[in-house]
Chain A
């Protein structure tokens, strides 16, 4: 039994490790202080795909990411861990996309690929925490879905058994392929990079990253197909422009309020009711808790 698996992965600013320098004095997010990382739950998703590949010889794992050109790093990180190939979907036309416009673009790209049996992605990305793109891609492609997965097993040629983590415990479900499965952060962590694969794919690039390359590398690149990461733009995926970016996004951001971390000077409280209630009210009103 072999599968054609697609992993959807996103490069995100590391909003979990928000240190004291992550906010500017004006109280806005200091993006430069936040490193771009592989969305954590997408790594859990990649691990599930690689485990299915380990158990089912002949399975291929393709990774698709949407973002700026530097998101090619996500594909390389996937190749280092055992993915077979990857594509970067990048175009200015995608800027400002909400989850619906994003899932439309992704679904157009997926329709360009060979038949996919299983799409696996993280439940949600840490920069938005919406958990919407996986199910919306499934809907656009007419595929069934299972969310919050912790473990995916192939039980017959076209049936997967999925353990999902929900509020009160776990559910074991079986469903027919093709299927979209979103993976929870409680699933096993992704394996580390493999040294051999790291050497092999270290110089894998999308065409847009080649501009700075010298002649020797360009020669190497064109002779070694595995170094060529796919790069698609809006024309490659034959998308309706009106469905992309801001115009394809039903949700608009009306306004943004920064959560100001006022630190540095420490405040001291006693254990009196008034003072503790005051502190709690302050923490709630500045969205630190609640």
Chain B
């Protein structure tokens, strides 16, 4: 009772990285709280799945195995968690801030009348004093997340309702095996006790890969390349940097005209006007028509081997150097420092 639960996502028999990262974080929080770490896996053909989760320090693994439970649909997975949580009364429940976790979490929190904080970037344990009611709470989960479009960081707590629920994006927490020989207990759930046939009112007709359209306008971070990137291949490292820090890739007109990038990525008067939170201009000299399309960005970083490039005059940070040297270093040091 009152343990820390992690809902584990599974795809083709493999537990998702985001879930393993949450198990790692969950283990250290559970140890700090002196409670057990419990995991829930819902899917089909789950024989042997415990070998994937026990090394992360899981004490109890709840398994719901039924062919109708894979792939994920909302109501059956929600029904299982709602009933399981109502019985086990977890103090904390964590899930990935993925298309699954963000579909499932609110449903469960609403049914249990508990608080849920989406997209946390840090989770900590600490006390809280409610001065109005003169109450002191010990060992609450601080759910720390950016809010207001990333302009503030909020510490959210759920003083009275349980479980304290939070979702976390993939890659935010680090994944680390506690002990390869760690052994927990398996609890096989009788699926029929948890779901009814009417929960399967949505069925998946098909799933396939499909590229999403480029949308440079709504991305809070834009990594933009200019003619100085040298080639279409040169843009590959921009895509790698963008994927690493969660950004979209833009381009100057010169780069688009040279065929380095599609027109849909063009920033500037003849392309799209953007105002992201952070604009990283890579090998862009900064012609007036380009600057007109991005000068309202909240923060501008310019990477250029020409110290006198016009864009440097409006940049908050200027890195004097070659893009081919600087960008791989940025990727490397982001990965090193982000966890």
Give A residues with C-beta under 8 Å from B. 13, 15-20, 22-23, 28-29, 40, 98-100, 103, 126-136, 138-140, 144-148, 161, 164-176, 185-186, 249-259, 261-264, 266-271, 273, 275-277, 279-281, 283-284, 287-290
Q: For B320, what are the chain A residues with a Cβ–Cβ distance below 8 Å?
A: 268-271
Taking chain B's interface residues, is the majority helix, strand, or loop, or is none over half, making it mixed?
mixed
Q: Is the CB of B107 within 8 A of A16?
A: no
Most chain A CB within 10 A, of B98, B106, B128, is at: B106
Q: Is the CB of B338 within 8 A of A290?
A: yes
Q: For B151, what are the chain A residues with a Cβ–Cβ distance below 8 Å?
A: 15, 18, 22-23, 29, 258-259
CB<8 Å pairs between A and B, sample of 11: A16-B275, A17-B296, A99-B116, A171-B71, A172-B205, A174-B203, A254-B142, A258-B151, A261-B299, A262-B316, A266-B316
Hey, what's the 0/1 contact readout for B69-90 against A, CB within 8 Å counting as 1? 0010111001000000000000
Q: For B115, what are the chain A residues with a Cβ–Cβ distance below 8 Å?
A: 98, 100, 249-251
Q: A131-B118, A135-B107 are in contact. Are A185 and B155 (CB under 8 A)?
A: no
Q: Is the CB of B318 within 8 A of A168?
A: no
Q: Is the CB of B153 within 8 A of A144?
A: no
* Segment 134-153 of B: residues with Cβ below 8 Å from A: 142-143, 146-153
Q: Is the CB of A269 within 8 A of B319?
A: yes
Q: For B75, what are the chain A residues with a Cβ–Cβ distance below 8 Å?
A: 144
Q: How far apart are the CA atoms of A271 and B333 in the complex, in Å?
A: 13
Q: Is the CB of B154 within 8 A of A256?
A: yes
Contact of B298 among A185, A261, A290 (CB under 8 A): A261
- In the complex, the chain A residue whose C-beta lies closest to that of B145 is A129
Q: How far apart are the CA atoms of A136 and B121 in the complex, in Å?
A: 23
Q: For A132, what are the chain B residues with a Cβ–Cβ distance below 8 Å?
A: 102, 105-106, 109, 116, 118
Contact of B337 among A16, A167, A281 (CB under 8 A): A281
- In the complex, the chain B residue whose C-beta lies closest to that of A170 is B210
Q: For A135, what are the chain B residues with a Cβ–Cβ distance below 8 Å?
A: 74, 103, 105-107, 110
- Stretch among B19-27, B258-266, B322-330 lining the A interface: B322-330
For the complex, is B99 an interface residue (Cβ under 8 Å from A)?
A: yes
* Segment 286-339 of B: residues with Cβ below 8 Å from A: 296, 298-299, 301, 312, 315-322, 325-326, 329-330, 333-334, 336-338
Hey, what's the 0/1 contact readout for B34-56 against A, CB within 8 Å counting as 1? 00000000000000000000000
Q: Is the CB of A15 within 8 A of B74?
A: no
Q: Is the CB of A289 within 8 A of B334?
A: yes
Q: Is the CB of A144 within 8 A of B316?
A: no
How close is A148's CB to chain B, nearest CB, in angstroms?
A: 5
Q: Is the CB of B278 within 8 A of A289?
A: yes
Contact of A18 among B73, B149, B322, B336 (CB under 8 A): B149
Q: For A249, what are the chain B residues with a Cβ–Cβ distance below 8 Å?
A: 115
Q: How far apart are the CA atoms of A124 and B119 in the complex, in Å?
A: 12
Q: How far apart are the CA atoms of A202 and B179 in the complex, in Å?
A: 67
Q: How far apart are the CA atoms of A168 and B9 in the complex, in Å?
A: 14
Q: How far apart are the CA atoms of A16 and B222 in the complex, in Å?
A: 12
Q: For B105, what are the chain A residues with a Cβ–Cβ distance below 8 Å?
A: 132, 135
Q: How far apart are the CA atoms of A279 and B332 in the complex, in Å?
A: 13
* Segment 86-124 of B: residues with Cβ below 8 Å from A: 98-99, 102-103, 105-107, 109-111, 113-119, 121
Q: For B107, what are the chain A residues with a Cβ–Cβ distance below 8 Å?
A: 135-136, 138-139, 145
Q: For A289, what are the chain B residues with a Cβ–Cβ distance below 8 Å?
A: 221, 245-246, 278, 334
